[in-house]
Amino acid sequence: MSAPGLFDRRLIFVLGKGGVGKSVVAATLGTAWARAGKRVVIAEVADQHRLSDLFANREETRNTPTELAPNLFGFSVDVDKSTEDYLAAHIRVRPLVDLLVRSRTFHNFAAAAPGLPELVTLGKVWELAMAVDGGRPVWDKVIVDCPATGHGIALLQTAGNVSELAAQGPVRDQAHRIEEVVKHPAATGIAIVARPEELPVTEAIDAAAALRADGFPVAATIMNGMTPRRFWAEDASVLGRVPGGDPTITAAVRSALRADHHARIEQAHLDELAAGTGTTPMVLPDLGPVVIAQSELALLADALDGAPRSLRPVGHP
Ligand SMILES: Nc1ncnc2c1ncn2[C@@H]1O[C@H](COP(=O)(O)OP(=O)(O)OP(=O)(O)O)[C@@H](O)[C@H]1O
Ligand SMILES: [Mg+2]
């Protein structure tokens, strides 16, 4: 699949402004890799449940991989259950763990403890990425559908913060091991998603800079929802020279020129994303006002695999 920056990495974090299409992009990457024969799991975090809609999967499982399509699994991280697993791994006295997880005070504490929900979430993701069976990794690709930018960055930074701040001991050691994987440029790739509009692009550029400054491997950007370009540069100049007179033709030409103008604005945003992040963005087309389900994901995955020319904007053959 033509996702060069992400090709060799096992752990992929999909990040971006709220509503830009992170879940759709995570599902598209998963679809493309699964059909290329990779064993893929998409992890949903922060209590999101988009995968079940996208793949019309009725099963609601938490902390267990659910098959969504051949080779493609979903995994919804349950913070409470993960906290319990985490405590069980660190406090070896089981009755004490049971007592703790049954106590309301503990739940209030765990929800409020700075970074704890993020740390257990990241710990689950890390477990998926590190899982081996018979000496082979269980998953070729672990794709994390992150919450919107600020929370997504906080999720990534949490292991580093804990390993810096926690007292010496097993918690700090584990946070350090997680941080090493999450920052390892051969293991992990962060994919930042934007839409061809000003705010999502600015936020993507800022996120890339902040993450890189912190030592995270920003590996790719994805411009989601580009309007398929209908006119080439020559067409636009011909349209501009159509003589007036017939109102129907004038209206049609005006509408075509408007579409071309819109496409140019989107192209400018794409160029800005490329320049501002030092990446060559992957481009996904706007599918229009459809409900995105498996057949639409297959179309988007086709676009990643090498879109037909009509789906590609000028300048990105
Ligand atoms: N390429 C596309 N073409 C058409 N519609 C799209 C496309 N990508 C996403 N959408 C639609 O845009 C909306 C937002 O997409 P999605 O839920 O993936 O965004 P998100 O970034 O995950 O949002 P959130 O920040 O809420 O998690 C959805 O209704 C989705 O169907
Ligand atoms: Mg989402």
Q: Name the closest-CA residue to atom 25, ligand 1.
A: 18
Q: In the predicted model, what is the mean pLDDT of residues 91-117?
A: 67
- The finding on whether 286 has its CB within 6 A of some atom of ligand 1 is yes
The rounded percent of the chain whose pLDDT value lies above 90 is: 53
Question: What is the domain partition of the chain in residue ranges?
Answer: 4-230+279-311
User: Is the distance from the beta carbon of residue 18 to the nearest atom of ligand 1 less than 6 Å?
Assistant: yes
DSSP string of 23-64, one letter each residue: HHHHHHHHHHHHHTT--EEEEE-TT---HHHHTT-----SSS
User: In the predicted model, what is the mean pLDDT of the chain?
Assistant: 86
Q: What is the pLDDT of residue 101?
A: 65
DSSP 242: -
Q: What is the CATH number of domain 4-230+279-311?
A: 3.40.50.300
- The CB of 150 under 6 Å from ligand 1? The reply is no
Q: Which pLDDT score, from 0 to 100, does residue 106 have?
A: 62
Q: What is the pLDDT of residues 4-37, one digit of tens each?
A: 578 789 999 999 999 999 999 999 999 999 999 9
pLDDT (0 to 100) of residue 25: 97
Which residue's CA lies nearest to atom 9 of ligand 1? Answer: 21
Separation between Cα atoms, residue 284 and residue 259, nearest integer Å? 18
Per-residue pLDDT at 110: 59
Confidence of residue 238 (pLDDT cuts 50, 70, 90): confident
CA of 23 to the centre of ligand 1 (A): 7
For residue 223, give both structure tokens. Answer: 């411009």
pLDDT in tens, 151-207: 999 999 988 888 777 777 777 888 888 999 999 989 999 999 999 999 999 999 999
**CA–CA distance, 316 with 261 (Å, rounded to integer):** 17
Band the pLDDT of 50: cuts 50, 70, 90: confident
